[in-house]
A and B are shown apart, each in its own frame.
Chain A
Amino acid sequence: MATVARPAAAGTGPRAGGEVTTSSPAPVRRGSRLRRRRSLVAWGFAAPFVVLFLVFMAWPVVSSLFMAVTDIKSRDLRSPFAVNFVGLQNVVTVLTDTTFHKAALNTLYFVVVGVPLTMGVALAIAVALNTGITRAAAFFRVSYYMPVVTSIVAVAVVWRFLYRPDNGLINEVLGWFGIQGPDWLGSTTWAMPSLIAMAVWRSMGTLVVIFLAGLQSVPKALHEAAALDGANAWQRLTRVTLPSIRPTILFGGVITGIGFLQFFEEPFVMTQGGPLNSTLSVSYLIYNQFGFGNYGVAAAMAYVLFLAIVLLTVVQFRLLGDRDETGTGRRRSIRALLRGSRPAAVGAPAMAPGPADSPSDPAGRRDTEVPA
């Protein structure tokens, strides 16, 4: 954008300056020509990226926006522009749809229970791997990461066997204690918890790795100092370790939240959204709507989900983001992440910032007061 404006501004230069010095317009013009050529060359170098970006990133986004505000359906495939503009009608349709309400509640249930559970389990494992287990630590790390790299289709077959009502492993084990286990996937009460358990198992591996990296950056000196002051193991965990890795926890919460809101694969392979839509998620509903050819409504639904993800992320930043005594400090951290200027915050929270770290930002130093 800036390169377009600059030659125009330069073009007025000779005329304005012409009255004062008529003898030297040439250098200015040559300069502007040079500059224009340079910017053209620059755009030429950037062209491969710009073209790829426009075609594969910008165009799909624009098309989906376009779909979301028109009444496009599968019958319009041959002439996608011959459709009517309907504004926010699709969004209204989505928000008044009872099936969507059901799916939204299911997704909320999944996120509210699933995200803290995944993080809690992952954190416990990471702490255990970091402190307790020293033998065969690599083996355990690989084991916990395995579910992440395993195909969901293969995993689903195994989990369906586990959950079988008559001869599934879970109910067999429960049977030893005289408990008659429910039909896990066939019950409206238990289907969702079953899927949450599977999702926790499937997604904790990544978090364990991230938390381990965070834990290893907590300085031993802090622990030693706390121990000298008479803090027991639990106090050291809650007062030293956890505050030190709060940015890591935030990062883990954000990526897990984003992943869990887009909850799709588990019901798709395990329950097809049933029984009685009790495991139907918003993503699954979007998938179905696209399948039915309601492209407009489906796209609008996707944008509603997108907004929900943004909202959840903002909430997480509010809750877990850098905490200051002043209210402004919290907001700053969100902006900082959006600006992408503080990637170090995730990895090394305990390091003292250099003086040049954020000169324009006096609040920056407060962030690191936590471990003290």
Chain B
Amino acid sequence: MRSSTRVTVAALAAVTLVTTAACGRSDSPGTTAPTQGAAVSEGPATGEVTVWAMGTEGEKLGEFAKAFSEENPDATIKVTAIPWDAAHDKIANAIAGNQVPDVSMIGTTWMGEFAATGALDVTPEAVDDDAFFDGAWDSTEVDDVSYGVPWYVETRVLYVDTDLAEKAGVPATPSTWDELKATAKGLQDAGAQWGINLQPGQTGAWQTFLPFAWEAGAEIYDDGEFHFDTPEFVEALTYYQSFFEEKLAPTQLPQGALEPDFVDGKIGSFVSGPWHIGILQETGGDGFMDGVTLAPMPQGKEKASFIGGSNLAVFKDAKNRDAAWKFVQWLSEPETQAAWYQEVSDLPAVESAWQQGDLADDERLKVFGEQMTTAQAPPAVPTWEQVAAVIDTELEKVCKSGEDPAAAAKAIQQQAESIGTGL
């Protein structure tokens, strides 16, 4: 018994040693990635293209792609729908097992990580980057090389209770930081329990906060280095914190309380993306949105907001690369983008698609379209999710336990440095 245990331990150790001895990074400079993708062949697409997509996109894309097959009779598009929760791991496993689809939808904040594995194909020159919103295109670039094409976008704006704002006599579309503060105060004085809801930390809070940092003029990432410990960043943290210190924003909102509270007039305003139009209509009933003003994010030194959404990437090991890129390019055509909006209400990443149909006429959508031109993407580095989690944690300390913003900025900087960019 005892000796067989020893043998097992020895065998385990031996196997580990052998496998580790066989490893080691190849640091030769010759392995650097190409900065320009290979050209895509001319003519219509042929063969089968496998596509992975998440959520509603995954459900609807298969039907929608039939139009592509009509234009390219020899090509078939096979869409596999994957749930968002499982998508990150599924793509990671596919890369590890080298069983990748031709095209996959990829969340903007995952680009850095997957591009760094070397599994994504570099975007060919034929793709016109000027057609897209700047912020959206930036999300495809890792270390100045683009690994995909923006598909749809979303950005954050201010939702304000119009009646309350009128009652308080404050602008429902505050245009500066001071005005935003005044609006929040006014809404509270006019009967709302909270003037504004800003996410006070925990997962995803950085998406609400970073726009303020960008507006203050902070450059959080430049040339392979993080810069969180700057006066601009501290200024934004201080401003954000002031909403909590002045009791204008709740430090603890139970899950799912935002929408009913906003409908009841307990919360005067909040910052969120386009999906909240639908949620509010559902919670408040038809016509509720008529009493809500959508305002662009108020301006600091600059204008900014957060840009999110998804990109489309082609894998290097795709079996049908040329047809895959043709399909991606087809999805990026303005007409296709506008038609896709009609199908699933995804906001187009292509600027010119906003000049047609509902997108051009709808007042609310115009606010998003306008905001999009100044929206920024977080740095596309492989470790971004981890750095973002650090921001979430420190932001929570600032908002809830009154940590000094300068100390928080230092803490974020120090942790971000130890995490590194992963490039």
Contacts and interface: CB of A to CB of B under 8 A. Distances in A.
A75 B422 contact: yes
A307 interface: no
Contacts of B397: 276
A70 B25 CA distance: 11
A358 interface: no
Interface in B95-109: 95-96, 98
A135 interface: no
B113 interface: yes
Contact of B203 (A61, A272, A294): A272
B86 interface: no
A65 B119 contact: no
Interface string A47-83: 0000000000010011001100110011111101111
A267 B202 CA distance: 13
A78 B12 contact: no
Contact of A62 (B15, B25, B113): B15
A80 B96 contact: yes
A65 B16 contact: yes
Interface in A272-324: 272, 274-277, 288, 291-294
A62 B383 CA distance: 26
A272 B26 contact: no
Interface string B357-392: 000000000000000000000000011011001000
User: Which of A69, A70, A85, A160 has the most chain B CB within a 10 Å cutoff?
Assistant: A85
A66 B117 contact: no
A293 B386 CA distance: 9
B12 A65 contact: yes
Nearest to B20: A85
Contacts of A80: 96
Nearest to A85: B20
Given A276-B396, A293-B382, A81 B23 contact: yes
B382 A82 contact: no
B278 interface: no
Contacts, number: 103
Contacts of B202: 272, 274-275
B36 interface: no
Interface string A70-109: 1001111110111111000000000000000000000000
A272 B397 CA distance: 15
A293 B393 CA distance: 19
Given A76-B117, A78-B119, A288-B389, A70 B252 contact: no
A250 B385 CA distance: 43
A183 interface: yes
Contact of A81 (B22, B201, B396): B22
A46 interface: no
Contact of B400 (A83, A276, A288, A339): A276
B131 interface: no
Interface in B192-208: 201-203
B255 A160 contact: yes
Given A74-B117, A75-B422, A77-B95, A292 B383 contact: yes
Interface string B106-121: 0000000100111100
B32 interface: no
Please report whether the interface of chain A is mostly helix, strand, loop or mixed according to DSSP.
loop
Nearest to B119: A78
State which size class the interface on B falls in: 35 or more
A239 interface: no
B258 interface: no
Contact of B25 (A1, A82, A277, A339): A82
B270 to A, nearest CB: 18
Given A77-B92, A277-B393, A293 B113 contact: yes
Nearest to B392: A274
A272 B389 CA distance: 12
Contacts of A272: 202-203
A186 interface: yes
Nearest to A292: B386
A223 interface: no
A341 to B, nearest CB: 10
B417 to A, nearest CB: 14
Contact of A83 (B1, B23, B203, B396): B23
Interface in B19-59: 19-26
B92 A275 contact: no
A293 B115 CA distance: 13
Contacts of B116: 74-75
Given A62-B12, A292-B386, A78 B252 contact: no
Contacts of B203: 272
A186 B383 CA distance: 29
A80 B98 CA distance: 12
A70 B19 CA distance: 10
Contacts of A277: 393
Given A78-B117, A288-B389, A83 B12 contact: no
A77 B96 contact: yes
A275 B252 contact: yes
Contacts of B393: 276-277
B274 to A, nearest CB: 24
A165 interface: yes
A164 interface: yes
B86 to A, nearest CB: 13
23 contacts: A1-B4, A1-B7, A62-B15, A62-B16, A65-B16, A66-B20, A70-B23, A73-B422, A74-B113, A77-B95, A77-B96, A78-B96, A78-B117, A78-B118, A81-B19, A82-B23, A82-B24, A272-B203, A274-B201, A274-B202, A275-B202, A292-B385, A293-B383
Interface of A: 1, 58, 61-62, 65-66, 69-70, 73-78, 80-85, 160, 164-165, 183, 185-186, 188, 272, 274-277, 288, 291-294, 339
> Which are the 5 A-B pairs with shortest beta-carbon distances?
A186-B252, A75-B116, A292-B386, A77-B96, A85-B20
